[in-house]
Amino acid sequence: MYGAIFGDIIGSTYELHNVKTEQFELFPTGSTYTDDTVMSIAVADKLLHEQYSRINDRKSYAFWYQQYYRRYPNAGYGQMFSAWAASGELHIQRSFGNGAAMRVSSIGYAFESLREVLLETKKSCYYTHHHPEAILGAQAVAAAVFLARKDCDKEEIRHWLTRKLHYKCSPPLEELRHNYVFDSRASYSVPPALQAFFQSNSYEDAIRKAISIGGDSDTIACMAGGIAHAFYKKIPADIYQSGMSLLDSGLKGTLRRFEEKYRVPT
């Protein structure tokens, strides 16, 4: 959770001004949380209220997404999601974007089997990302978080994603950076986020590698950061303090309740 959110904040100023280097300021002026953080915390809040939302989990996710959209309407959502959330209706959106994958890190913490993680992730996609590509990308991120927190090594995680989930991994980052451009399609942006984690040696290194790719920097760093936090178990104190200082009390409160219930490391 924290790893995903701080990745989003660090990447927020680089989404429109890509860098192709790992040497950049982590929290320059203008750094802020975006829709990635808001929706990640919406999912966490839904899971904290699990006992009230088992009757129809798919509708429950939609309720929390729309509620958080109303609370934070200016967080930088995509047009398709904004139109859906503002309508208050529950018609199905068939988006193949990365919006489902960016918000699922908490699902990887809240369940104790991969079967449950995959099923819950699919439920979380139902109304907003009712498309096989978006669902598969979200499941890849949530499963990677789950496997990382269960102390699987990187080769075990990669093997499970490619052999069991049949998810296509990315080529090395060195091959991606030069021609990589902004595209929020799940199949284009999720594999590089996974690769940034696989090539990293620490949480901070994963974030720096994710942003150095370019493209949809905040979301790529959000996805890579969620997995990296689960794997490395620790976020540097300066990153934690800077990131938390940019969240309001409501977001911080939900994060801390989730941390206490699911024993998320910081």
pLDDT at 263: 79
Helix 237-244 to helix 2-11 angle, to the nearest 10 degrees?
A: 70
Query: In the chain, where are the structural domains located?
Result: 2-262
- Per-residue pLDDT, 56: 61
Backbone angles phi, psi at 253, to 5 degrees: -60, -45
Architecture label for domain 2-262? Orthogonal Bundle (1.10)
The Cα 118–Cα 165 span in angstroms is: 10
In this prediction, residue 57 carries a pLDDT of 77
Q: Which pLDDT belongs to residue 31?
A: 98
pLDDT of residue 262: 87
Coil, helix or strand at residue 35: helix
* pLDDT at position 169: 85
Per-residue pLDDT, 54: 54
Pull the structure tokens for residue 159: 């093997």
Specify whether the CB–CB gap between 152 and 159 falls below 8 A: no
Report the distance separating Cα 9 and Cα 247, nearest Å: 10
Model confidence pLDDT, tens digit, residues 90-118: 999 999 999 999 999 999 999 999 999 99
Query: Exposed, middle or buried: residue 178 (CB in 10 Å: 0-12, 13-18, 19+)?
Result: exposed
Is the whole-model pTM more than 0.75?
A: yes
pLDDT at residue 11, as a whole number: 98
Give the residues of the chain that fall short of pLDDT 50: none
Distances (CA, A) of 25 to 32, 121, 145, 177, 258: 14, 33, 26, 19, 29
Burial of 163 (0-12, 13-18, 19+ CB in 10 A): exposed
